[in-house]
Amino acid sequence: TLFPYTTLFRSDSAATIDRLARTPPRTQSDVNVARAELLHAPREVLQTFADTVMTAHGEGGLGVEEARALLAEDALVQAHAHDPAEFARLVEEILVTRAQPVSIVTRALVRRRAWQQAADFVATVPGSGRVGPQATGGFPTRDVVDAANRSLRAGHATAAEMLAARALAVSPRSRTAQETFTAAHDELRVVRNGWAPPPAAAAPAYEVDPKAALAVLSQSLPHTSGGYATRTHGVLTGLA
């Protein structure tokens, strides 16, 4: 039988998602793909996947913890939207029952766009006595850095700075965390202290050409090669 985890492209088709949920994974790679595809699936589909892996592999078997983590994350998202007290209860339960509890809670808060709540959680809970001995996944640097990036893009620089700082405390060489922290810190510094241009010079330090225009870029070749830098280089080269 053709295995869907390695042959189907990403799709929102209900039939495809249902097939994923009903096909037992054979490798950890299959489990990882299934988790990514089913992340936003309806709860009944997540339950089907949990039943499938439990029947195929038994308690503690391949994919069982990941399936339960999906259910836990979904429950958190729903409770956060409708019942704060239930959300708080679920968080404490997950912290002492799941293998990667910090990752589950962080991802749920990101899905709810609760940026500051995510930052406060990541700043205080990992490594505390609230996390049970069953937690084996370690600090979820990737999820926390992702949360920091999303928070910054959403305009929540304080939360982004806190999240990136927490990630750097664990993974100081993370370039993405470094860049996010620096960007958030710079934004907050301007908000707190304001920004003023430097004093005007008594005379220009260059020969003024009245027919020339000055372009000030935040990204430019050859320092960066992304789309912004490349397109701007093309435009300015064409105008020269």
pLDDT tens per residue, range 195-207: 888 898 888 788 8
Q: Answer whether residue 8 shows pLDDT above 50.
A: no
Give ∠ CA 123-129-132 in degrees, rounded to 5.
105
For position 57, what pLDDT does the model report? 95
Give ∠ CA 55-60-64 in degrees, rounded to 5.
60
Average pLDDT of the residues of the chain: 90
CA dihedral 142, 145, 146, 149 (to 10 degrees): -160
pLDDT tens per residue, range 138-150: 899 999 999 999 9
Paired tokens of 135: 């937690």
Nearest by Cα to 19 from 11, 54, 162, 56:
11
Q: Residue 27 and residue 4: Cα distance in Å, rounded?
A: 13
Nearest by Cα to 177 from 187, 189, 164, 190:
164
